[in-house]
C-alpha cells in the first residue's frame, strides 16, 4: 500500500506540489500512522497526507496514478454504524467530527473516485451534502490528526474484510465528473516539500 506524505499544507518547493511516496506494509500500518495525534491550537500548518500516489510525486489531479484507500469525511459528531464485515478506521478531526478510512480490495483510478465515494456514502448513510465539494477530488490533501487536547481525540476500528470496489461502482451510473483546480484551497496546497519516508506523519521535516 502506498500513500503520499506532506509536512504541511502551505509549504513550497520550486512552485510544485511535491510530497514523499511512502510504502506501508498493510492497512493496519496506515491505521497506526493515523492514530498519531498532534496537540495544537489550530490544524493549519500541520502535516498531512493523501491516499493517492502521483506521477513525479506532484499532487495534482491530472497526475493521480492510483488511490489506495477510500477516505470519507463524516461531517457530524456521530460516526454512522458501519458494516460488521468491513475493515475500516476512523479518527476524530480537529472540528470534532469524523474522518473515515476504508480498506479496499484494489486500488482505484481518479475517474472512479466520485462514483465510489457516492456509492459508499449512500450505503453507510453518510450525508454527502454536508461535506465540501472538494472532497470529491481524488487528489485531495488531508490534515493528519490534530486536536486541542488529547481528551477530545478518539479513534475507532472495524476489522472485517475489504470493500469490493467493483461491486460498489456497479451501483452508481457512469457519469462525467469535473473537479475544480486546487490552487486556492487552504486544505489542499499547491506545493509542499518532501517529507521523510516512514509511517509517522510527524516525521515530516
Q: What are phi and psi for residue 149, nearest 5 degrees?
A: -155, 155
7: left (phi over 0), alpha (psi -120 to 50) or beta: alpha
* Pairwise CA distance, residues 173 & 168, whole Å: 11
Query: How distant is the alpha carbon of residue 62 from its chain centre?
Result: 17
Confidence of residue 112 (pLDDT cuts 50, 70, 90): very high
CA dist., res. 35 & res. 88, Å (int): 13
User: What is the pLDDT averaged over residues 62-72?
Assistant: 96
Please compute the mean of the pLDDT values over residues 111-129 and round it to a whole number. 90
Q: Which residue has the higher pLDDT, 86 or 184?
A: 86
- What does pTM read for this prediction? 0.81
Q: Which residues, 6+ apart, have CB-to-CB distance to 83 below 8 Å?
A: 123, 124, 158, 160
Contact assessment for residue 48 and residue 39, using Cβ atoms and an 8 Å cutoff: no
Q: What is the model's pLDDT at position 108?
A: 97
- With cut-offs at 50, 70 and 90, classify the pLDDT of residue 142: very high
Pairwise CA distance, residues 71 & 23, whole Å: 18
Amino acid at each position: 500500500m502506498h500513500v503520499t506524505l506532506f509536512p504541511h499544507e502551505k509549504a513550497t518547493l520550486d512552485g510544485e506540489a511535491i510530497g514523499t511516496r511512502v510504502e506501508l506494509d498493510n492497512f493496519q500500518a496506515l491505521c497506526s500512522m493515523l492514530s498519531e495525534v498532534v496537540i495544537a491550537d489550530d490544524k493549519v500548518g500541520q502535516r498531512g497526507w493523501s491516499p493517492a500516489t502521483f506521477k513525479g510525486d506532484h499532487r495534482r489531479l491530472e497526475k493521480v496514478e492510483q488511490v489506495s484507500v477510500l477516505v470519507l469525511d463524516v461531517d457530524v459528531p456521530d460516526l454512522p454504524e458501519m458494516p460488521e464485515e468491513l475493515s475500516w478506521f476512523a479518527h476524530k478531526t480537529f472540528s470534532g467530527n469524523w474522518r473515515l478510512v476504508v480498506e479496499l480490495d484494489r486500488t482505484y483510478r481518479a475517474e472512479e473516485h466520485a462514483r465510489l465515494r457516492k456509492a459508499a456514502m449512500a450505503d453507510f448513510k453518510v450525508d454527502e451534502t454536508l461535506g465540501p465539494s472538494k472532497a470529491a477530488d481524488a487528489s485531495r490533501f488531508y490534515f493528519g490528526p490534530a486536536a486541542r487536547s488529547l481528551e477530545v481525540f478518539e479513534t475507532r476500528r472495524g476489522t472485517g474484510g475489504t470493500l469490493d470496489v467493483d461491486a460498489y461502482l456497479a451501483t452508481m451510473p457512469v457519469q462525467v465528473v469535473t473537479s475544480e483546480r486546487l490552487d486556492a484551497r487552504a486544505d489542499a496546497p499547491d506545493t509542499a516539500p518532501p517529507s521523510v519516508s516512514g509511517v509517522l506523519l510527524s516525521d515530516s521535516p
